[in-house]
Structure 1
Amino acid sequence: MKYTPLPIATAADTGVYRPGTAARVYGWGLLDYDNTQANLLRSADLRVLPDRTCQRLNPGGDYDPKMHACANDPVTGAHHAEGDSGGPLVAGGRLIGIVSWLANSNDTTPTPGVYTRVSAFSRDIARQIRDV
């Protein structure tokens, strides 16, 4: 079967990581704290956050802006769910992130999701897709 993968963000795609950019995360993760698993693919509309915000929320140095991006819904605080790891973060018709972990939060910034920055690995990903 022939398929067309979603285009991946490359180093040239800096605009999709600009703070405020609309993005959507998809996943089959948990729906609540009772560990109810989703039986349908779910999604959430997010906005990309500034790298400095995620660095400030993760003072231990876990957040590396060369390898990560972060996003949430600044109004509702929505982000990916537990169990969504490995799922896609899409913006501008491109895969820009892969669900990784949840950052810390504070009074002014609801918990953002942290995503592997696909553009940092775009050459390796493209090579893998070509070899399929």
Structure 2
Amino acid sequence: MIDYIAAQVDFPEIDLRQRLTVSKGYGVTEIFVPEGSQFVGTPIRDTELSERDINVLTLYRDSKVIPNPRSDRVLEPGDKLLCFGKLESMRGMIPARTQRKRRPKVKDLDMDTVNASLNESDGEGSSDV
């Protein structure tokens, strides 16, 4: 029976990420579990990822690759989870301080300082273009 099913399965030459991002609002990403994370010491089933519509496809631990990890697998610091799910939910898991680092705050220019700098460079015969 299994041989019959295997013969029916089609394995097209398509990138897995491309295949999994077909649904709008869903995609694949890696979630890193750092030291001190709320997930450390927690079984995958208790992380509530599935309630956020996120499925763990693969667990990377040191040099081990654990495909389709069991829900009772306890997470450790340094684990990486390859996940498929709602992109919005996965983005919401990025800590606020990390989000701030990725988006630097833009400051307004002090026009008096800019004008003074321009006036100084005009008198020095600068050839910068």
Give the structure-1-normalised TM-score. 0.22
More helix by percentage: 2
Give the structure-2-normalised TM-score. 0.22
Higher relative contact order (Cα pairs below 8 Å, separated by 6+ residues):
1
More strand by percentage: 1
